[in-house]
Amino acid sequence: MPVLDRAVALTLRPPARGAHAKVSLKVAEHDAMYAGNGVHYLECGASALSVIHAATVLAGTRPGAILDFGSGAGRVTRWLRAHWPQARITATDLRGDDLAFCEAEFGCATFLSATDIGALKAPQRYDVIWAGSVLTHLSAAAAEALLVKLLSWTRPDGVVVASLHGRFVAGRGAAQEFYGLGEERWAALQAGYRDGAAYGYADYAQTPGYGISIARPAWAAAVAERLEGARLVLLGERLWDDHHDVVALQRRPIDAMP
Ligand SMILES: C[S@@+](CC[C@H](N)C(=O)[O-])C[C@H]1O[C@@H](n2cnc3c(N)ncnc32)[C@H](O)[C@@H]1O
């Protein structure tokens, strides 16, 4: 099992700086998010904690129960555990081995997810739901359906914090090997996005229904306006790891503000 080096993350900003001494340094052998760069792996998780924490502060939400939706093997989950040691943290994913690791290493509750978003059920309600790099693999319809579903799993005043590929990603496909799509599919994704649409998507070659998406900030704002009972708390570009945009929605009707 690879073990990270605690000394690599000393440049972190709060709240990750405080959580850094407690964060688990164990990486699952099957962690698809770990590509051998321990510094980036830790910084990426720490950056997610910063933006999730900011969303909770802005929303005024106390994170008693947290769900990491699409947790993988806990690149971010470990930081949630380190910063909120008293919280009930749940991890869910399609990858059973990753969930077993999160349960054993971070004391998470877990449940196995599925690809039929409409049929998904959660065992409880949450104050905070994080979906890091999940919408970034879904079509516009599936991404919106997932936001609706996740918002329905929040407690009153709870927040859903989700990452998106935005304008930054749209401009750097060629430099990033087309995010695994290949040049032709990347061009198809770009075509939709360029022709005035707010969202572009293309499947990976081998996985219909799962690929790469890009979304203009206007897409996330429009979804927020469409969702009944949702308040747009935060929408920012390259907020996660200087890479993904992040949107945070709170379950609180706009006309119910104090
Ligand atoms: C790019 S990875 C990101 C993992 C983790 N959030 C992180 O940032 O390290 C996307 C994850 O979402 C999971 N995923 C995709 N569709 C899902 C679904 N319908 N339900 C739960 N997890 C899903 C994948 O299995 C994968 O682990």
User: CA–CA separation, 181 vs 202, rounded Å?
Assistant: 8
User: CA–CA separation, 255 vs 251, rounded Å?
Assistant: 12
**65 and 125 Cβ atoms separated by less than 8 Å:** yes
pLDDT at residue 8 in the model? 60
Does ligand 1 have an atom closer than 6 angstroms to the CB of 95?
A: yes
Does ligand 1 have an atom closer than 6 angstroms to the CB of 38?
A: no
Cα of 34 to ligand 1 centre, how many Å? 14
Please determine, for residue 10, whether its predicted confidence score (pLDDT) is greater than 60: no
User: pLDDT grade, residue 90 (50/70/90)?
Assistant: very high
Cα of 132 to ligand 1 centre, how many Å? 7
Q: Which atom of ligand 1 is nearest to the CA of 146?
A: 19
pLDDT at residue 258 in the model? 57
Please determine, for residue 257, whether its predicted confidence score (pLDDT) is greater than 80: no
Tens digits of per-residue pLDDT, 135-176? 999 999 999 999 999 999 999 999 999 999 999 999 998 888
CB atoms under 10 Å from CB of 47, counted, come to 23
Report the share of the chain in percent with pLDDT over 90.
82
Closest residue (by CA) to atom 13 of ligand 1?
Answer: 70
Domains of the chain: 8-256 (3.40.50.150)
Phi, psi of 109 (to 5 degrees): -75, 155
Higher pLDDT, residue 194 or 74: 74
Tens digits of per-residue pLDDT, 192-230? 788 778 999 999 999 999 999 999 999 999 999 999 899
Closest residue (by CA) to atom 8 of ligand 1?
Answer: 132
